[in-house]
């Protein structure tokens, strides 16, 4: 098994985060500094930051929905006092983030101990929906709604944003449903049409809804929510949709894993 996948299966991090650990020289395999693409054998001696890690446990998959408040950062770096773990206070096996939200944004974040879930959820070409309630600094016109819906240039040299759904909720509020996650996308889309976001809340990721979950609270996904989520990802019993991931990789999708569309 490839080293990055092995680390993800251990629940230490996502595959993408594992690549960063490997590239930074923090992982050794059989006494040697590991390299990207290394294969982990059955009797491998594997250390991360000098500490041994064992074989992937047959642990139950954990999926958590968390209502991130404003002011909490989407990081698990313990040196940052605003990190997710300090506020989540989850006392089970280590879980890590699937995507992120800007420090000034609030709402639904998903966390898991299964690294195989991260890329299938975040990759833009799979068109998985994420839904937001957005409050602007002033009223929004029909022309601005049309432009946002059709796609705008947000100055990231990647062309127009993908078409999205924009629904007026009254006053300065709209509902936006995206299927991509460029850096600070919703805020930059607003700027492109002469608006400024004053409040942003994510209320849904795919079939998982924030619902009545209190600010700063978390809950386990229900069995029905997990079943429907995995069905959308073509995942069964922890299997990764390899053909989809291979297709995404060949299309150069790595840059689309930012998932910071606020």
Residues recognised as catalytic: 102
Token pair of 97 as six digits = 């983030």
Taking the C-alpha atoms of residue 62 and residue 84, their distance in angstroms, rounded to an integer, is 17
**Which residues, in sequence order, are CB contacts of 225 under 8 Å at separation 6+?**
63, 207, 208
Beta strands, E only, 88-188: 96-98, 106-112, 130-136, 165-170, 173-178
CB 239 within 8 A of CB 231: no
| Of residues 16, 205, 209, the one with CA closest to residue 118 | 16
CB burial of residue 51 (10 Å; 0-12, 13-18, 19+): exposed
Terminal CA-CA length for the chain? 35
Sign of the dihedral through C-alpha 124, 256, 118, 215: negative
> What is the residue-wise DSSP string for 178-190?
ES---TTHHHHHH
């Amino acid at each position: 098994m490839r080293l990055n996948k092995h680390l993800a299966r251990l629940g230490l991090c996502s595959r993408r985060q594992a690549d960063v650990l490997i590239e930074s020289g923090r992982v050794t395999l059989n006494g040697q500094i590991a390299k990207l693409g290394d294969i982990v054998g059955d009797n491998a001696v594997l250390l991360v930051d000098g500490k041994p890690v064992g074989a992937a446990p047959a642990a139950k998959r954990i999926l958590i929905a968390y209502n991130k408040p404003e002011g909490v950062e989407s990081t698990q770096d313990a040196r940052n006092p605003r990190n997710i773990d300090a506020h989540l206070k989850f006392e089970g096996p280590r879980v890590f983030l699937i995507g992120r939200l800007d420090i000034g944004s609030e709402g639904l974040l998903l966390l898991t101990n299964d690294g195989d879930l991260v890329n299938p959820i975040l990759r833009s070409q799979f068109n998985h929906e994420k839904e937001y309630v957005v409050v602007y600094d002033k009223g929004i016109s029909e022309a601005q709604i049309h432009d946002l819906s059709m796609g705008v240039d947000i100055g990231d040299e990647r062309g127009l944003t993908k078409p999205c759904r924009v629904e007026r909720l009254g006053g300065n509020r709209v509902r936006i449903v995206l299927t991509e996650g460029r850096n600070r996308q919703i805020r930059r889309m607003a700027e492109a049409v002469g608006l400024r976001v004053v409040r942003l809340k994510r209320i849904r990721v795919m079939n998982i809804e924030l619902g009545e979950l209190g600010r700063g609270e978390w809950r386990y996904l229900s069995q029905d929510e997990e079943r429907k989520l995995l069905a959308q990802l073509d995942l069964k019993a922890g299997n990764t949709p390899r053909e989809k991931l291979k297709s995404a990789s060949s299309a150069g999708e790595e840059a689309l894993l930012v998932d910071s569309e606020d």
